[in-house]
Amino acid sequence: MELKDNEKFLNNSNAQPLTFFLTGIPDLKAAQVWIFIPFCLLYIIALSGNSMILFVVLREPSLHEPMYYFLSMLSATDLGLSLCTLSTTLGVFWLEAREINLNACIAQMFFLHGFTFMESGVLLAMAFDRFVAICDPLRYTTILTNARIAQIGMSMLIRNVAVMLPVVLFVKRLSFCRSTVLSHSYCYHVNVIQLSCTDNRINSILGLFALFSTTGFDCPCILLSYVLIIRSVLSIASSEEQKKAFNTCISHISAVAIFYIPLISLSLVHRYGHSAPPFVHTIMANVFLLIPPVLNPIIYSVKTKQIRKAIRKVLIQKQIPLVKNTDEATEVIIVTEVGVYSFSGGFAYASEEYGNTNKDMNLQQCCSREDEELAKF
């Protein structure tokens, strides 16, 4: 099949081909329909998990803090990273929809690498958050204000656009007169420029500059922040306080590891692993894209008590107010997963003679009882 795809362009050396051909997993073409099932499940986990994190952070006032704002940025980035490859990856494995035109390929490349660099920047911001919280806790709220968090997010966005625009624009100047079969189920910059039959040295330089100015800068800064954090924590006399301080960093360290290890491995395989079997490139490429979005919400849900509590509250506390109107009073029955409560406020009657005193007292008692029941979970 790949030879037939290549033959379509062998005699077209002076024209820019309009399409590339994506690849599933070589040598496992017969099993690609079955491979679609786990990939589909992974995408569902990634989309639902990160959507849940975003929802609870936006919904719960107790999570409106710098740490959780950065976590919501990470979840939004993981959502974008999953969505930009969802259609092509599942299309290749399920429908054998392998063709992608040049403009769509360039657009996917822009968002794919843009979200990758964005995730690296968010991880750096989260490392800075942990550094301030542990090394300078008294100034935490004055350093990480809402305005400064917004500035950090905007600066990361501007940086990614600035480094990615030249990269994708210079792809347009390349000519592809030989093979147009990509080794992945999506458009990856290194993979695309290697198929060019013209000089691609400028593209390689731009790609390396984009990589080193983003992840190449962020990774050492994250390592430096943890060196300072470890030094600060070791100066604490109490071993219990040391353990508590390190526990606040476990989730972030895990997120850094599952992002940078596959990224560095994939870059090394692409540049130096030309003798590696084709399926190694494909599997590593898909692992790099899916592992962080799938595992990040799981890690933060398991290791962060506040996130776990907020998710449990969303899943358990489904309140359905049932209002019974009468001429003299209004009775509200709140049905939850943990019990049934009712209160009557004499709304129409009390609003004239007593204000809302009785209603407020009964409502407060009802809610306090409900909170006690939820605390048991």
Say which DSSP state 181 is in: B
CA atoms within 13 A on the CB side of 349: 11
Query: Are 286 and 307 within one domain?
Result: yes
The CATH number of residue 237's host domain is 1.20.1070.10
C-alpha to C-alpha distance for 98 and 127, rounded to whole angstroms = 39
Query: Are 334 and 206 within one domain?
Result: no
205-241 confidence digits (pLDDT tens): 999 999 999 999 999 999 999 999 999 888 876 788 8
C-alpha to C-alpha distance for 98 and 166, rounded to whole angstroms = 27
Q: Which of 276, 291, 314 is the last residue of a domain?
A: 314
Residue 339 belongs to domain spanning? 318-375
Confirm if 296 and 258 have CB atoms less than 8 A apart.
Answer: yes
Q: pLDDT in tens for each of the 377 residues of the chain?
A: 444 444 444 444 444 446 899 988 776 666 777 778 888 999 999 999 999 999 999 999 989 999 999 999 999 999 999 999 998 988 888 888 889 999 999 999 999 999 999 999 999 999 999 999 999 999 999 999 999 999 999 999 999 999 999 999 999 888 887 778 888 889 989 889 988 888 889 999 999 999 999 999 999 999 999 999 999 888 876 788 888 888 888 999 999 999 998 888 877 777 676 677 777 777 778 888 889 999 999 999 888 888 988 888 888 865 545 444 444 444 444 444 444 444 444 433 333 333 444 444 444 444 444 445 444 44
Query: Are 276 and 340 within one domain?
Result: no
Query: Are 55 and 95 within one domain?
Result: yes
39-70 confidence digits (pLDDT tens): 899 999 999 999 999 999 999 998 999 999 99
Q: Which of 290, 314, 338 is the last residue of a domain?
A: 314
Alpha helices in the chain (DSSP H): 2-10, 32-59, 66-90, 102-135, 140-143, 146-171, 189-193, 201-213, 215-234, 239-272, 278-303, 305-316, 347-353, 357-375
By C-alpha distance, which of 309, 320, 255, 290 is closest to 86? 290
Pairing verdict, β 339-344 and 19-21 = unpaired
Q: Which of 314, 341, 363 is the last residue of a domain?
A: 314
Query: Are 131 and 199 within one domain?
Result: yes
Q: Tokens standing for 50?
A: 């990160």
Query: Are 10 and 146 within one domain?
Result: yes
Positive/negative CA dihedral, 52, 263, 248, 74: negative
Query: Are 348 and 238 within one domain?
Result: no
Query: Are 176 and 255 within one domain?
Result: yes
C-alpha to C-alpha distance for 111 and 167, rounded to whole angstroms = 12
pTM, two decimal places:
0.78
C-alpha to C-alpha distance for 370 and 52, rounded to whole angstroms = 23
Can you tell me whether residue 13 is helix, strand or coil? Answer: coil
Residue 9 CB: number of other CB atoms within 10 A?
Answer: 21
Q: Tokens standing for 369?
A: 């009882």
Query: Are 310 and 322 within one domain?
Result: no
Query: Are 191 and 336 within one domain?
Result: no
Query: Are 263 and 327 within one domain?
Result: no
Bridge partners of residue 321, in order along the sequence: 334
Query: Are 121 and 42 within one domain?
Result: yes
Number of structural domains, the chain?
2
